Structure 1
Amino acid sequence: MKIAIISDIHSNIEALHAVLRKIDKEKVDVIVNLGDIVGYNASPDECVTEIRKCEAISVSGNHDSAVHDLTARESFNVFANQAIRWSHFKLSKENKDFLKKLPLLAIVWDRFIACHGTLKSNDSYIVKPFQARRMFNIMRKEYQRINICFFGHTHRQAVWSRDVRGKVKQLKLNENPIHLNPEEMYLINPGSVGQPRQNDWRASFLTFEPEEAKITFYSVPYDLYKAQQKILKAELPSFLAERLAEGV
């Protein structure tokens, strides 16, 4: 079996279409979406419709929550706030209802956990060792049989591991694919489809092959200019268009 893990689409239909084409070429069996389908960019309704159409297993991101929950926007910067307010009026009722019903996390076939930020919040980050350690502790306490959690929110590809002695480290992504040790625990981020922040504008995702205990990262080019022009035409902040090209 081959599973595609995608995250942080953020209303970028051009990037999503490019990723879905690559996923199709890779003969993926199922897609898992780690949240933030909407926000920032200019095609929120189209992106939600596409995710529903491909029947992806999905969890809620903080921007997805903010569409229907004003309090979820309190931590947003001015650009994110403006974009999510704009998105609210562009989404169909059916797509708003879909976002509202998304769970905080999903346990997929008792093999791995899917979440957006952390297991306790879709607006918390895993970027430092103490944050990864906290997540591993929750997994050991509440999900003893599962050793892999896929998460998003940071918009950066990342792999954290915890060995049998309890040592936590962030792996250097020099090798691709990466083979996972079944005796260790992992926190894995596929990066962002629609707004990458690792100094690379290309859309990011990964595939996971459980039987081979293997993940493979992908970076896919897409029609960047078209996505930028849609942002400007919608009169969203020009910074949101500029940052796409810079991958920040």
Structure 2
Amino acid sequence: MRIALLSDIHANLPAFEAVLEDLEKRKPDAVYCLGDLVGYNVWPNQVIGLVRKHGIATISGNHDLKVSKIPPSVGGCSKEENSEYAYKLVGGKEREYLLTLPRHLRLEFLLNDQQLNMLLVHGSPRSINEYLMQKLPEGYMLELVKEFNADILCFGHSHKPYHRVINSGENGIDHFHHLINIGSVGKPKDGDARACYVLLTIDQTASIQIQNTVQVEFVRVEYDVEKAAQAVERSPLPDAFADNLRKAY
């Protein structure tokens, strides 16, 4: 089974459209989104519309929850309010959708009479705002995957993709856990401005006791970065957001 995992689109319609086009070519068996559909750009409603049109199962991100605190824009937005402009653009039906998204999704596979548990979150299982950075101590990560019974833990939020494998096995019996940061479709922060998503392959050989049987591919997709950056500059949003897109930081 091939599963596409997206995260942190952040209202970047050109990036999302390019990823959808790439997915149409690759035809994964399932597509999931790990949240943050909105924020930082001017197309939140269009992005939400495409997510719903394509039936992409989605969880809530911290930016999606911000719409509960920031009312829609009426009669424009002053320069003093520019950091909130991205959320003021979100329409009524779109707000309702965002605020009813689940906080996590759990998938359970039974392969070779062995259960494989996959947990999808935005930040971490403990908090939607927690950053699970690649260099966190292994002991902390082990504690996390054990607490939430996750053999494959997928998350976003930091916009920095990585795949890390840790072993919680004891008494000579391996038990491998895969920690996968999906990266960002619409606002990468790893120095590569291309959109990023993950293709995860789980087949009949997949096992918690064999490290390399879960395959993780980070897919990078070219898109019109300049179009997205100029849309920011033409809006009340901070021009720094455009620089972020161009330089991927």
Q: TM-score range by the shorter chain?
A: 0.7 to 0.9
State how 1:1-248 maps to structure 2 within 5 Å: 1-69=1-69, 82-83=82-83, 85-109=84-108, 111-127=117-133, 129-130=135-136, 133-143=139-149, 146-165=150-169, 183-211=175-203, 213-248=214-249
Q: Structure 1 233/132 Cα, relative in aligned 2: closer, same or farther at 3 Å? A: farther
Q: Deviations over 1:187-236 (max 9, x none)?
A: 10121000001111000001011116211111111011111121112221
Q: Structure 1 229/159 Cα, relative in aligned 2: closer, same or farther at 3 Å? A: same
Identity of aligned residues (%): 30
Q: Which whole-Å CA distance do the structure 1 matches of 2:237 and 2:154 have between them? A: 31
Q: CA deviation at 1:135?
A: 4.2
Q: Deviations over 1:128-177 (max 9, x none)?
A: 5446643432331332xx400100001011122211458xxxxxxxxxxx
Q: Which whole-Å CA distance do the structure 1 matches of 2:238 and 2:147 have between them? A: 43
Letter in 2 for 1:226: K
Q: CA deviation at 1:82?
A: 3.9
Letter in 2 for 1:112: M
Q: Which whole-Å CA distance do the structure 1 matches of 2:134 and 2:184 have between them? A: 18
Q: Is the 8 A contact 2:195 2:221 kept in 1?
A: yes
Q: Is the 8 A contact 1:158 1:191 kept in 2?
A: yes
Q: Is the 8 A contact 2:45 2:90 kept in 1?
A: yes
Q: Which whole-Å CA distance do the structure 1 matches of 2:53 and 2:137 have between them? A: 34
Q: From the two aligned structures, give the one with the greater helix fraction.
A: 1
Q: Is the 8 A contact 2:38 2:87 kept in 1?
A: no
Letter in 2 for 1:95: E
Tell me, which stretches of 5 or more residues in structure 2 are unaligned? 71-80, 110-116, 204-212
Q: Which whole-Å CA distance do the structure 2 matches of 1:86 and 1:218 have between them? A: 30
SS in 2 for 1:242: helix
Q: Is the 8 A contact 1:148 1:186 kept in 2?
A: yes
Q: CA deviation at 1:69?
A: 3.6
SS in 1 for 2:68: coil
Using the TM superposition, name which of 114-123 and 125-134 deviates more.
125-134
Q: Is the 8 A contact 2:105 2:119 kept in 1?
A: yes
Q: Deviations over 1:21-40 (max 9, x none)?
A: 11111111211101111111
Letter in 1 for 2:152: I
| TM-score, normalised via structure 2 length | 0.82
Letter in 2 for 1:24: E
Tell me, which stretches of 5 or more residues in structure 1 are unaligned? 71-80, 167-181
Using the TM superposition, name which of 212-221 and 191-200 deviates more.
212-221
Using the TM superposition, name which of 130-139 and 53-62 deviates more.
130-139
Q: Structure 1 33/165 Cα, relative in aligned 2: closer, same or farther at 3 Å? A: same
> Which is higher, the Rg of structure 1 or of structure 2?
2
Q: Is the 8 A contact 2:86 2:237 kept in 1?
A: no
Q: Is the 8 A contact 2:67 2:90 kept in 1?
A: no
Q: Structure 1 135/147 Cα, relative in aligned 2: closer, same or farther at 3 Å? A: same
Q: Is the 8 A contact 1:6 1:205 kept in 2?
A: yes
Q: CA deviation at 1:242?
A: 1.2
SS in 1 for 2:143: helix
